[in-house]
Amino acid sequence: MSSSMRALVKPSPGPGFRLTEVPVPAVGPGDVLIRVEKAGLCGTDQHIYSWDAWARARIKPPLVVGHEFMGTVAAVGTAVRAIRVGERVSAEGHIADLTCLLCRTGQAHICEHVEIVGVDRDGAFAEYVAIPEYNVWRLDPAIPDVCAAIFDPLGNAVHTVMAAGVSVKSVVITGAGSIGLMAIQVARAAGATAVYAIDVNPAKLELARRLGADAAFLATQEDLAGELRRRTRGDGADVLLEMSGSAAAIDLGLRLLRNGGTAALLGIPAESVSLDLADRIIFKGVTVLGINGRRMFETWYQTEALVKSGRIDPGAIVTHVLPYTAFDRAFDLMEKGEAVKIVLDFKGDVVKP
Amino acid sequence: MSSSMRALVKPSPGPGFRLTEVPVPAVGPGDVLIRVEKAGLCGTDQHIYSWDAWARARIKPPLVVGHEFMGTVAAVGTAVRAIRVGERVSAEGHIADLTCLLCRTGQAHICEHVEIVGVDRDGAFAEYVAIPEYNVWRLDPAIPDVCAAIFDPLGNAVHTVMAAGVSVKSVVITGAGSIGLMAIQVARAAGATAVYAIDVNPAKLELARRLGADAAFLATQEDLAGELRRRTRGDGADVLLEMSGSAAAIDLGLRLLRNGGTAALLGIPAESVSLDLADRIIFKGVTVLGINGRRMFETWYQTEALVKSGRIDPGAIVTHVLPYTAFDRAFDLMEKGEAVKIVLDFKGDVVKP
Amino acid sequence: MSSSMRALVKPSPGPGFRLTEVPVPAVGPGDVLIRVEKAGLCGTDQHIYSWDAWARARIKPPLVVGHEFMGTVAAVGTAVRAIRVGERVSAEGHIADLTCLLCRTGQAHICEHVEIVGVDRDGAFAEYVAIPEYNVWRLDPAIPDVCAAIFDPLGNAVHTVMAAGVSVKSVVITGAGSIGLMAIQVARAAGATAVYAIDVNPAKLELARRLGADAAFLATQEDLAGELRRRTRGDGADVLLEMSGSAAAIDLGLRLLRNGGTAALLGIPAESVSLDLADRIIFKGVTVLGINGRRMFETWYQTEALVKSGRIDPGAIVTHVLPYTAFDRAFDLMEKGEAVKIVLDFKGDVVKP
Amino acid sequence: MSSSMRALVKPSPGPGFRLTEVPVPAVGPGDVLIRVEKAGLCGTDQHIYSWDAWARARIKPPLVVGHEFMGTVAAVGTAVRAIRVGERVSAEGHIADLTCLLCRTGQAHICEHVEIVGVDRDGAFAEYVAIPEYNVWRLDPAIPDVCAAIFDPLGNAVHTVMAAGVSVKSVVITGAGSIGLMAIQVARAAGATAVYAIDVNPAKLELARRLGADAAFLATQEDLAGELRRRTRGDGADVLLEMSGSAAAIDLGLRLLRNGGTAALLGIPAESVSLDLADRIIFKGVTVLGINGRRMFETWYQTEALVKSGRIDPGAIVTHVLPYTAFDRAFDLMEKGEAVKIVLDFKGDVVKP
């Protein structure tokens, strides 16, 4: 194997990425080296690309970016127990410490010492990425590459839906971005008897309907609370899945929720949110769940079961598959809202290492 | 039975109550008329007495006030099925509609059409009060009168503790008022392996320690987060019981909570609260529970079991038992912070009706 | 209203029913009198018709039989609060005492003092039946009569599925009788990613496949455990829904379940069952749920949501709708296994009372 | 370090153990070598010692026996991440494969490929034992050695109590052997409002009362069901913890349980059990939980919290601490029922290796 590879790198503070040669990552005793084949573009990547306030505070260049991906195992460390060279895999991008209370009790997804691939350590927009064996996920042959490449954000949707519990319930989803759209499919497949999508963008509402929403509404629609009540026996929705991070959407979603309902919050507000806790949560007896990452590895098993059984088709939201060399165009498409989900191909033009 | 009785009444908008003669309440077919013997003074009564903004918006005088009480059944309506004249009883003060989704699925405590005794309809600071049979709770002979009179706020504490789940967990309680103090006893009895109380009042912290808190801290103590970490293996508390309604306490309590912890909110903020949802709830994977009233009637069974088994002694927080004619003095004691919990006696000077 | 009506009656110990005139039921203060329109035939009715050992031990003739039904409210008692004459309704056939711990804590379906309509008190195979208001369920106009008539057994299926929890899980159903067949539809709609039906009757397996089972197997198929393992990643099924009451099926189902799985038992074994508790339950860490009746009224809300949303079509298992006068033929069809579910019509030939 | 050590060994099929020299275990890259200091004697050890039917079927001599222990880390493998030489530790004796669905979803305690220390691989009745780092548990300095040595069976009790959920519930424990006795303490500490112990041995009932049982009964007492009803408001117990494995106790315990109650089964029946599933489980709506081992590592955190907080004192059941060379006497004491729990000391007579 060559000692260098091509990668998308944030070389120094400032906007943009650079396609450059960097060393192939070292493979520790417990690590798996993966030849990346396809990788998904995420909002997080966009933050890092555009170098916004969050990125400036969090990212320490130089850094290979990217965390949603699939590929083939190229090498394994000396202490790797089960994963073998040649296996087709994806990976959980949150590297937990595996020694704290949370990691030792099945909650590694909220480990306090988590490092995120492509954020806190070198990532997957590259020919190779090194990942601890614990985080590697063997792919079922029935899962197409493009779908496997976005198991990470799909897993966010699955985690949110499964944490809230939607079986034979009515569900409101605020925010019909790529994760919100996947959540529509997942919620239906997981047994929701009604799925209502809300967004500020009419085009996304149309997409939401096509992906299975029973109805989709503009957040600005007059008397949306009344509309939801009429559709839910007068009670309001059983479940809110908040995917936007918008303060207005959080308040709206909680208003649409029935007393005793459950709200799962995945969207990240950029700043503090002013909430009427008394009327939105306390008197209503609402349960609010903070959702982060994917459960290791319940979420991965669930995601596989949903895709493999044909209950969901997450590939339906992938609007573009582009060669990784076209990354600037990809970010431009996302910036302009002309793409829903973009997958980069790292295999077509492989310079054999 | 006489047709009139003595009662504490809010006669018209403005501060104070008047001790006056009013008609004994009518007894509907499904109602139980109760001769009130002892009744607890609640913060809500104080709001109505002092005629604050909340009271001005909610209360429609004239109104007989009071909702925490115990007494003896004096008469029953024609359709009453099980309750008999002469039985010693308390009652759930939230009158639910019993026909909605929530009431029909075991969640009557968050019925949207609830009416609260002594707030939305005539209350229990009187010689007699009429209550639907559904709401009446038979008292076990082992429960002392003074304790039975405060089953309502004690039930708030029990509901909060049991909803959060404290068995073999570390618990932080923010707000050591009368419900917070009862929650200390309840949390210990329900299996908490550590109970930490936090308040802004050193006298209450002293009381908290006496009632069983493993430690009690001023909210202003420096590095309280570090202190809690040191006491909880470095993780933070498993459970937060928020009893103050203070925005600062809510933020502090959430900071003291470990990732994956549970926060049960009972205290009612007077206005909207600005919350860092991302860092306090979402990334931490926290569960937030809005708590209202008491579960009908899980909470009542649990409260009885706790008191009857001797696991808790809620009478320990009753600092005064006064004749009801001394109500002005009682509110003055509460106002000055010289009382923790006051019970009024409605039996000593009975004018036989 | 006439004082007498036509009804199917078990007049005295022995096989068969008699179609005869009996008094219209008295309407107590809290009761609702319902003009029966359609009623489902249940295995329980068959036990009573054929006068087997269970029936001889439980039934005290004379008795109007039948408990699955729908109709229109004909009269209401003086203390009825919400139900009105003319409303289209079904009803929960388990009359609970509403005063015990279980009834007071949302578990009326397992009240120890339950009386079952058509078993312990006069039933619904008649022009009229009287039911306490608490038990009456208003029908949504979108629910067809034939489907509404079988909400009771459909509710058994829904209760079993929802108690087990099938969302994004693999499910084995042992016993493809009418409730087992409905459970296939319900499990899929409630989010199961795989549903496997098992029976001893090949015709029922064919029906199971048509109703949505991913696969259906003869209980006698060789290496069924291996077959299930191959279909479930090597683990075994997540959930078992036991609908047969057969000792062999219970043992088989538990063998097919993965470690940590959940088994919900609805089928009633006729006698004690010899179980290898160590290997089937304890070492596997299995959860076993005893299921009885329907939750009041979570199950009814869920059933309505499933039917109204079009997620299930329980009418698909109704093979015959017969006039109630043809009851002997109906039982003959059931006896011979020529019917799956039969609904009797009590309206077509109404002698106006 | 010497290459040999003293150990209690089952050298070949047949009764008894032999104290002999064997090689110090090899330390794999992920292993921790522990100098054993104290070790508990378990019923399993007794089965192997006496060479009963279970032992003959399961054990492959030669084998170093023993699985309950504590000691000090003597060496660590090259890939060990966090554990250091000199740390005081105990260890989970169930070695799970860490790659299956169960291990990957927080249920390693029911891994299908588990190997048990001292049963399926060399154990801890020796100067040294090698354990994978994953299984090692650091001991808090506040936990005494004798108590740390029995964290394994104490963990069985904690797992059973916590799985059932006893907070503010009434609890029946059938079987007052050493785990049943520990469960009394644990159940009280975890919030049970009543704990009732049942056994066939009056001496154990006396011990049960001393350890905190609210009452203790002979299994043969007449009308025990009536007695329990009278003590539980007429309902029966909320929770059953079955610790005996006796078919009669399982049936009795289920009869004492109220409708809707929870039964956690830890005791292992030696053969199949004939159960009236209809009347004991299905009609009652009972939940039955199969309990195996200890949750990794929720149970260990909970056990530590209970001991460290002083809520329980498991040392109270240790009747003997003997040098390991006195193992024959120890098994004789257990055989004769003259001991409750025996701890062997492996440190006093150390031949420095």
CB atoms within 10 A of CB C124: 32
b/e sequence A41-58, b meaning 16+ C-beta within 10 Å: bbebbebbbebeeebeee
Q: Are residues D11 and D99 located together in one domain of the fold?
A: yes
D51-80 residues touching A, CB cutoff 8 A: 78-79
Q: How many distinct structural domains can be found in chain A?
A: 2
Using a CB-CB distance cutoff of 8 angstroms, which residues of chain D are in contact with residue B162?
167-168
Residue D105 to residue A81, Cβ atoms within 8 A: no
Q: Are residues D335 and D282 located together in one domain of the fold?
A: no
Q: Are residues D219 and D273 located together in one domain of the fold?
A: yes
C351 within a domain of the structure (yes/no): no
Percent pLDDT > 70 in chain B is: 98
Tokens of C352: 């106006």
Cα–Cα distance for residue pair B261/B287, rounded to 1 Å: 6
CATH number of the domain bearing residue B44: 3.90.180.10
Q: Assign B121 a pLDDT band (cuts: 50, 70, 90).
A: very high
For residue A296, the distance in angstroms to the closest alpha carbon of chain D comes to 7
- What tens digit of pLDDT does each residue of D131-149 get? 999 999 999 999 999 999 9
C297 and B CB contact within 8 Å? yes
Residue among A102, A105, A301, A304 with most chain D CBs within 10 A, to mutate: A105
Q: Quick one: average pLDDT of C128-155?
A: 97
D167 and B CB contact within 8 Å? yes
CA distances from D322 to A238, D18, D45, D345 (A): 61, 17, 16, 6
D28 within a domain of the structure (yes/no): yes
Q: Are residues B182 and B74 located together in one domain of the fold?
A: no
Q: Are residues C82 and C159 located together in one domain of the fold?
A: no
Q: Are residues D206 and D325 located together in one domain of the fold?
A: no
D145 within a domain of the structure (yes/no): no
Q: Are residues B333 and B262 located together in one domain of the fold?
A: no
Q: Are residues D130 and D165 located together in one domain of the fold?
A: no
Residue B353 has pLDDT above 50, yes or no: no
Q: Are residues C132 and C193 located together in one domain of the fold?
A: no
Task: Quote the pLDDT of residue B348.
Answer: 75
Task: Quote the pLDDT of residue A2.
Answer: 76
Task: Quote the pLDDT of residue C124.
Answer: 98
B351 within a domain of the structure (yes/no): no
Q: Are residues A98 and A53 located together in one domain of the fold?
A: yes
CATH number of the domain bearing residue B283: 3.40.50.720
Is the Cα torsion angle C286, C291, C296, C298 positive or negative in sign? Answer: positive
The DSSP line for B225-259 is: HHHHHHHTTTS-EEEEEE-S--HHHHHHHHHHEEE
Using a CB-CB distance cutoff of 8 angstroms, which residues of chain D are in contact with residue B233?
301
D149 within a domain of the structure (yes/no): no
Residue A8, C-beta contacts closer than 8 angstroms, at least 6 positions apart: A17, A18, A19, A64, A65, A66, A125, A126, A324, A327
Locus of tokens 């193992």: D327
A311 and C CB contact within 8 Å? yes
Tokens of A263: 């709200």
Using a CB-CB distance cutoff of 8 angstroms, which residues of chain C are in contact with residue B106?
105-107, 298
- What tens digit of pLDDT does each residue of D88-106 get? 999 999 999 999 999 999 9
A165 within a domain of the structure (yes/no): yes
Tokens of A183: 């959540």
Residue C104 to residue B301, Cβ atoms within 8 A: yes
Q: Are residues A126 and A192 located together in one domain of the fold?
A: no
Residue among A159, A193, A196 with most chain C CBs within 10 A, to mutate: A193
Tokens of B255: 């900071």
For residue D320, the distance in angstroms to the closest alpha carbon of chain C comes to 30
C61: nearest Cα among C101, C12, C15: C12
Q: Are residues B46 and B75 located together in one domain of the fold?
A: yes
D45 within a domain of the structure (yes/no): yes
For residue B264, the distance in angstroms to the closest alpha carbon of chain D comes to 17
ipTM exceeds 0.95: yes
Residues of D marked active site are found at 44, 47
Q: Could you list the residue range(s) of the whole structural domain that residue C324 is in?
A: 4-139+313-345
User: Which of A20, A47, A320, A325 does the annotation list as catalytic?
Assistant: A47
Residue C351 has pLDDT above 70, yes or no: no
Residue D351 has pLDDT above 60, yes or no: no
Beta strands (DSSP E) in chain C are 4-10, 18-23, 31-40, 63-64, 68-76, 88-91, 94-95, 115-116, 128-132, 136-138, 170-174, 194-199, 215-218, 237-242, 257-265, 273-275, 287-290, 318-323, 341-345
C121 within a domain of the structure (yes/no): yes
Bridge partners (DSSP) of residue C72 are C35, C88
Tens place of pLDDT per residue across chain A (353 aa): 679 999 999 999 999 999 999 999 999 999 999 999 999 999 999 999 999 999 999 999 999 999 999 999 999 999 899 999 999 999 999 999 999 999 999 999 999 999 999 999 999 999 999 999 999 999 999 999 999 999 999 999 999 999 999 999 999 999 999 999 999 999 999 999 999 999 999 999 999 999 999 999 999 999 999 999 999 999 999 999 999 999 999 999 999 999 999 999 999 999 999 999 999 999 999 999 999 999 999 999 999 999 999 999 999 999 999 999 999 999 999 999 999 999 999 997 544 33
For residue B168, the distance in angstroms to the closest alpha carbon of chain D comes to 6
B76: nearest Cα among B89, B64, B67: B89
Is the Cα torsion angle B315, B321, B327, B329 positive or negative in sign? Answer: negative
Residue D166 to residue B191, Cβ atoms within 8 A: yes
Task: Judge whether D207 and D238 are in contact, CB under 8 Å.
Answer: no
- Please tell me which residue of chain C has the smallest CA distance to A187: C191
Q: Assign C1 a pLDDT band (cuts: 50, 70, 90).
A: low
Q: Position A251: which residue type? A: D
- What tens digit of pLDDT does each residue of D224-268 get? 999 999 999 999 999 999 999 999 999 999 999 999 999 999 999
Using a CB-CB distance cutoff of 8 angstroms, which residues of chain D are in contact with residue A104?
296-297, 301
D272 and C CB contact within 8 Å? yes
At CB < 8 A and 24+ separation, what contacts does D195-198 make?
D195/D170, D195/D171, D196/D170, D196/D171, D196/D172, D196/D228, D196/D231, D196/D237, D197/D172, D197/D173, D198/D172, D198/D173, D198/D174, D198/D224, D198/D249, D198/D252, D198/D253
B168 and A CB contact within 8 Å? no
Cα–Cα distance for residue pair C156/D213, rounded to 1 Å: 39
Residues of B marked active site are found at 44, 47
Size of interface A-C (CB pairs under 8 A): 56
